[in-house]
Amino acid sequence: MAPTLEAMLLQYEVEQLYYAEAALLDERRFSDWLALFTPDAHYWMPIRRTVMASDLENEFTKPGAMALFDDDKTLLETRVKKLATGYSWSEDPPSRTRHIITNVRVLEQNGDEITVEANFHLYRTRLEADEDSWIGRRRDVLRRVDNELRIAERSVFLEQTLIKSRNLSNFF
């Protein structure tokens, strides 16, 4: 079945939001990036564990359990403000990043909310020779606010179970 014009336009709008977001992060325009989130936003990255095939439902920690990030908008704002002070040792000198977003799929639309999944690769280089690479998928709930798409929920699922990076100071 061929997609409708409305579905293609929504797909395009979502992709443009994600490409603009990636550019803001890579340009270290974190305050502008924050404006992409709704006031009630939730940003969550569960911990991934290696489990047997029979236990895959427990591969990721559940909401409310331990997580790498479990932030509301206020906490995201605090992280961004700390980066702006110049006193964040993990980002002074700042990281150089490249966010690659791919396989963007609109999964569901329910009123003003749209559930979207996308794959990502976040590459970071820092200092003279530190390199980190994270690969995973994001599951977002986007909400239309004043006719603009905003991020209301973000869940980040890393492929890695062992984080070898010295810190997790970047945004996914």
* SS3 assignment, position 39: strand
Q: Where are the domains of the chain?
A: 5-158
> pTM of this prediction?
0.93
Alpha-carbon distance 40 to 28, whole Å? 23
How far is residue 50 CA from its own chain's centroid?
Answer: 22
CB 107 within 8 A of CB 153: no
- Would the pLDDT of 87 be above 80? no
Four-way CATH pick for 5-158: 3.40.47.10, 3.20.130.10, 3.10.450.50, 3.30.70.20? 3.10.450.50
Across-strand partners of 118?
A: 138
pLDDT tens per residue across span 14-73 = 999 999 999 999 999 999 999 999 999 999 999 999 999 999 999 999 999 999 999 999
pLDDT tens per residue across span 139-170 = 999 999 999 999 999 999 999 998 888 888 89
